[in-house]
Structure 1
Amino acid sequence: MNRILLIEDEAQLSENIAELLELTGYDVQVTDRAEQGVEMLFQNPPDLILCDVSLPDREGYYVLEQLNASSLVIPFIFVSARVDTQDIRRSMELGADDYIMKPFNTPDLLAAVKARLLKYGRIRRILLGE
């Protein structure tokens, strides 16, 4: 079962996304803080990260920067209400795999999650020679 780390500070949205992912068969870890997300990321690396850009303690970019500074290879998707092209561009320049704008529809979110997990699964198999 794939594990997803969800970093989202809007409580109702976080609950809805977590429930949707769990009903789809994913194991979901949830936090509303970037710092705690980074701790969770390194304590028990997930298979994918969904992260808001605007968080109460730090921006989601911090989480991606910490991931980039590590040796971990984990797909990273921003889910944000910030729709400015500068935010999207910065996300892509930092290496985000996708940027989903709020409000989003369920099939788009699930398709993005599935696509990134499949892609990274193939990459891991190639790197590990499986």
Structure 2
Amino acid sequence: MAQGINTAGTKLEIGTGAGGATYIQVKGFTDFSGLGGGSAAVIDNTDFDSVAKEKSMGLPDEGQLSVTLIFLPKDAGQLALRAARGTRAATKFRLTLSDGTKYEMTSFVLTFERSGGQDENVKATATLEITGAVTETAAA
């Protein structure tokens, strides 16, 4: 029987310092979605000699990564996330699964929305717009 990857131990980190060379963990991380969910443009190559539509694929767009957090207003990682939104700077991120598989990307922080409900922690949802390619490093 195949064993899947457990989400417990998954980490989100944000690049800080010169060029984002130092990563700090974003605490309170509970959920992510959208990784690998982007698409590419379809280029129409049809001409008068074509007997049906002819197409090619444009550049892939890695799309957006949505992350959910327990809102921790004093956490250095969440503060860095909020600061990146404020500066509109392209920022490095690293998502590491519990098996050690890493996804590294550069993103713009489009949103950092807080929400809450009865008998819940205050949550935050951030939307990261990925620019460029996502680099996947398989677990050792």
TM-score (norm 2): 0.24
Higher relative contact order (CA 8 A, sep 6+): 2
Structure whose residues are more often helix by fraction: 1
Which structure has the bigger radius of gyration? 2
TM-score (norm 1): 0.26
